Structure 1
């Protein structure tokens, strides 16, 4: 018994030791929200109030100190996120994750982002406010690296901390710009359809771009002054930082609101990850104030508001990437033809460092149009030299000035001037202010080619006839200022005619745009609560029409009672994607089978790329209405030409059988909540043993693809819908009550797993709740968490 007692004592001591060590480790790795710290480079003390969701309210006597403080607190909450995002564009992920990221690193390092960043930095005005404040922010980040606690991810992965530079910041801009682009997912697919299947197949697909359009109207009035495709897709899928995808925004003018003041709404759609993409911070000095949403390593918020104005963004979806087929000199592969002469490729050697492996060295050839994709993407089957021309790396980069100017505007004119300097990525800049101005600007450098040139297939790099003819002045960009309908909006849809043309792009289907217009137009007494409900709207106007058109072609002569029940549910469906609905389950499986039976036989391996582009969402409603189509015939059945009725009937039968096997024989129990879920994934959470520790979720959710409450998922063979993207924040700024403006993000403010703010907003977000974006200083000062940064003598 004595031995047993001694063993138990030893075990108790060990357990207490482990608990104590765990407690100490946890508390030392939590962000510091209270107390005092001494920071280098500060001129005066800065007081930071952390509110109940962990948002820092930074009060400083000058902007230089404020941005040092912002960099410090941003780093203490999001240093691991900063580390990942700076490595993407530089091609440095395989340094920490190993050889599985080599191909992704080759893609990004070959795009020319780093070279463009270096060139831009060389030409910056070092005396300008944007430069000085950006450097102050980086000073704050690097101060944290020197004296702050190292996030646990660095220890787990085995990464040494490195100081951050302005080049890292510009590389983040470059990644953002590329993730916005859609051409690399669409152009190679369309080119392959044209070259391999012919004009009949190709023309049916591209014809959909002129159908089912809800156009954003242009209208400029005075300011109120008052007082490659599959390969590229696969490379992007493994990124540990989420890509930018879509977005909603609408700004309601004073004449359409109950309280007679502007209401601003924005919810950018971005791939879900943990931590969430946006970091909130409220900065206040005697000459500046902004409550902003920041990307990692970006000092100036891309979304923000103060008591005077609010702004946000959606993706423009304009075409700023083009692919050129180059023609090599038959006698010298280091030269390519342009017009009547041969030009020399610029050859750049690249070195990738790989964890636990030898460095990988490769070369890239660069033509006047851009880098050859053949040297970047190993899987590129096209043996022709294919160059990617990208406006982001082609033109002067003023994106730091853009971010500074839109976040430091004094009025609508200042904001427009800032928006006009953006060259890429294309963004819809949304604006509303306390003087009752509302505006929308489609920002990005637009350009013209020769008439009749279709730019979504490969262009001829040798002829000289497929070159950009002119760049448009910003006044010719789509835009609206104080329009007569008293609202502006964007849902990534096609803007109305500009410069006597519909500007080409990769605009999304009209679903969300049409729903926004249908809800906004008839109502003239909007309130903050009304738009909060609208942000959670789960209704598609397009999906019931697609179902109706398909069901009209269904052979109903041989249906079981359960199949008839399923058909009736679809017939009566209003397009709602709530959790308890059955129709979305039937609809999604039906269109999966319909699209596969229609397109897969002709497209072969390229089909998986086609169905994972936004383009298919524009094709579907048009194809569902067509009676005659070259696509109906199944080319694998040589002695038979299928009809639409056969395709639709087989698709429905296959869908019904699958769902019966998946969810049981009782159709009424095929609830949407049984097949849809969301999990916010952390890069380290990909390790199975760490998943439950770092990931947030999975949760059952509501919403659907291309409804206002946009929950983006792949419709594939699995029959389950794992949401991968959606509203990265929901924001409402009501200028009749600006101190009580609302927002929410999917998980939490902090990226530190031991922080109480790691996932404290997750359930609120899923439930459609909001938290206050505090501006009232007296309310802010009630916070119990106060951190004071003081100057440190060097």
Structure 2
């Protein structure tokens, strides 16, 4: 008995030592939200008031001082996130995660983002406001790197902290620009369909911009093979990234004529891949000459989203086509030359070196034409296929995106704001605006261009032909836009914009689902207030999906269904399109649609290309048209030589498959087939992929409402999995009411901090899931009185 007692005391002692060590580690590694720190080169002291959710409210005597402090506090909460983001463009992920990320590093190095960033920085005026403020921000980051605690991720991976430089800012923006693009996932696939199946299969997909959908209306004062390898390489590179991708967004701005208090109400929820930490870092800066409550991308000093007492702005994805693919014709007598409309030119050889964790450095070489990198061979594709190059406007045009972000974040009115927008050449953004003077506006911000009349930018073009060259660049005044339209609101849901320059601009626009719901709700009333807008931003009803059910259900042969199957179909036929967690019809709908798409397209495309097809935005636009279409070349199953299948066959088969798969996954009791059982959200941290560390680094999983292409756009992939695990959604929800701007509200998906030892690592997660909000404080007295902690940066070390 004494021995057992002694062992017990020893175990208690060991446990106590471990607990004490853990507490010490937590205290040492957590962010410091209070106290005093000396910061060299400050003109005067800077005070940072942290509110209840860890948002820093920075008060400084100058903007330069404020940016130094911002760099420091941003880094202490998000240094690991900054590190990952700056490594994407330079091919630096293999150095952390090993050889499995080599193909991703090769791909992003070949895009030339890092080379373009270096060129931009070389040409940057060091005395410009952009350069001065950016350097102050970098100085703050680097001070934290020198004297602050090392984030636990660096310790676990053995990664050394290194100073930040100006090119890191531009590389982060460059990655964001590429993650917005959609052509790399779609153009080669459509070319394969045309070349391998025939033009009738392509025509049946309605790939052109549609005149029969909800457009974003213009208003300017008046009413108006190797291809498969390329797709595989691109999707493999993107899917392996340990940072989130930008996918879409909602925004609407309601004019004073439609609000209860006669002031503008601004709403924005950018849709981005979920991850931990979440994308945005909130910070409120106040100096004698400048104030902004902004949302910052890791390592980027200027806020991409923001507001003050005068105006508010945000973005959604424009979805314009700014990536073009070209077949390259090599000289049969000299493979170092390729054909252009002007004759033979020399292929450029580019060599890069990638550091790999626990391995020797890897050197690789790729070829480059005047259009861009030849993608064949970059990710170990089969050699000997027809070369394809990629032309991306982001790396071609002069990069003034940071100047644009500076301009819009410092604008005092709509005229100054608009004057900054032509500097955004890529990525294509729907810029949303509202102000205290009653103005509402939307501009499609991008460098747009025209190609030849016979050119189809959604297919791989021919680099040797002059007709596939750009004919002209459009001026910003020609871009889609609406300023104070007579319908008294503007909106964007990544849907198709109105015609410009005599054409519907080519793009990868999302279906009208969210747009139709937004327009319907906005048109229905003229007494909007902030509470109603907050409810709307969480709306989870589909305006389209019940109609799809109607089209499909009328083709189901009820006589071939058993009692349970008929009951499920009956309930589904009465569905209102809601995606609450306790809804059962939503589960059946999406499982049915998955099998409907699979039965329709996989026989012609094959398993691999079908998987690539449903990973694009493009397939979402096909669901409603295919459900309504009576005849299609795709209905026949080409694997059956003695039968010609019809749409009715596809619909019946897919419904029965959906029912059986749900019964296998969720059991025989159909009342238990609820949306929340399958539609769950887990915010994954890169190190949380290790099972032992998952619960420490990851946040969730949670059952959540919403779905693909409803306003509360909690998206998931049709990948054949038994669940509908959420991959992307609102990266923040913001509602700014200019009748009460100091009580404007927002929310983050998890928390402000990316440090797992911080109390703000996941303190907003439950609120986010419930559709709740918290205040974005701007009143100085309220901030000071309610501050949970105060951190002071001293200009002198005395």
Shorter-chain TM range is: over 0.9
Structure 2 runs not aligned, ≥5 long: 223-229
User: How many angstroms does 1:14 deviate by?
Assistant: 3.6
User: How many angstroms does 1:625 deviate by?
Assistant: 1.1
Moved more, 126-135 or 378-387: 378-387
> Corresponding residue for 1:292?
294
Structure 2 contact 209–505 (Cα < 8 Å) conserved: no
**Residue 149 (structure 1) aligned with residue 152 (structure 2):** no
User: How many angstroms does 1:556 deviate by?
Assistant: 2.4
What CA distance in whole angstroms lies between the structure 2 residues aligned with 1:587 and 1:176? 33
What CA distance in whole angstroms lies between the structure 1 residues aligned with 2:205 and 2:775? 46
Change (3 A) 1:634 1:73: same
What CA distance in whole angstroms lies between the structure 1 residues aligned with 2:62 and 2:383? 56
What CA distance in whole angstroms lies between the structure 2 residues aligned with 1:309 and 1:500? 33
Structure 2 contact 377–383 (Cα < 8 Å) conserved: no
Show the 5 A alignment for 1:687-698: 687-698=690-701
Deviations 1:753-774 (A, max 9, x none): 0100000000000011100000
> Corresponding residue for 1:244?
246
> Corresponding residue for 2:189?
189
Deviations 1:640-668 (A, max 9, x none): 11111111111111111111222222323
**Residue 710 (structure 1) aligned with residue 713 (structure 2):** yes
Change (3 A) 1:737 1:349: same
User: How many angstroms does 1:606 deviate by?
Assistant: 0.8
User: How many angstroms does 1:420 deviate by?
Assistant: 1.6
Number of residues paired by the alignment? Answer: 789
User: How many angstroms does 1:382 deviate by?
Assistant: 7.4
What CA distance in whole angstroms lies between the structure 1 residues aligned with 2:747 and 2:2? 59
> Corresponding residue for 1:162?
162
SS at match of 1:265: strand
What CA distance in whole angstroms lies between the structure 2 residues aligned with 1:124 and 1:661? 61
SS at match of 1:620: helix
User: How many angstroms does 1:377 deviate by?
Assistant: 2.7
> Corresponding residue for 2:493?
491
**Residue 623 (structure 1) aligned with residue 626 (structure 2):** yes
> Corresponding residue for 2:174?
174
Change (3 A) 1:22 1:487: same
User: How many angstroms does 1:543 deviate by?
Assistant: 0.8
> Corresponding residue for 2:41?
41
What CA distance in whole angstroms lies between the structure 2 residues aligned with 1:784 and 1:362? 52
Deviations 1:466-498 (A, max 9, x none): 000100000000011111100000000000011
What CA distance in whole angstroms lies between the structure 1 residues aligned with 2:468 and 2:10? 79
Change (3 A) 1:637 1:382: farther
> Corresponding residue for 2:226?
none
Show the 5 A alignment for 1:201-600: 201-207=201-207, 209-210=209-210, 212-221=212-221, 228-339=230-341, 341-379=343-381, 383-600=385-602
What CA distance in whole angstroms lies between the structure 1 residues aligned with 2:419 and 2:597? 45
| RMSD of aligned Cα (Å) | 1.5
> Corresponding residue for 2:225?
none
Structure 1 contact 363–375 (Cα < 8 Å) conserved: no
Deviations 1:73-113 (A, max 9, x none): 00000000000000011110000100000000000011000
User: How many angstroms does 1:7 deviate by?
Assistant: 5.6
> Corresponding residue for 2:789?
785
Structure 2 contact 371–391 (Cα < 8 Å) conserved: yes
What CA distance in whole angstroms lies between the structure 1 residues aligned with 2:712 and 2:105? 33
> Corresponding residue for 2:227?
none
Match of 1:760 among 749, 759, 763: 763
What CA distance in whole angstroms lies between the structure 1 residues aligned with 2:767 and 2:9? 45
SS at match of 2:351: strand
SS at match of 1:48: strand
Structure 1 runs not aligned, ≥5 long: 223-227
What CA distance in whole angstroms lies between the structure 2 residues aligned with 1:432 and 1:529? 18
Structure 2 contact 209–506 (Cα < 8 Å) conserved: no
What CA distance in whole angstroms lies between the structure 2 residues aligned with 1:119 and 1:245? 28
What CA distance in whole angstroms lies between the structure 2 residues aligned with 1:136 and 1:336? 46
Change (3 A) 1:212 1:553: farther
Deviations 1:364-383 (A, max 9, x none): 11101100101323236771
Change (3 A) 1:10 1:494: same
SS at match of 1:373: coil
What CA distance in whole angstroms lies between the structure 2 residues aligned with 1:585 and 1:159? 43
What CA distance in whole angstroms lies between the structure 2 residues aligned with 1:601 and 1:254? 53
User: How many angstroms does 1:575 deviate by?
Assistant: 1.0
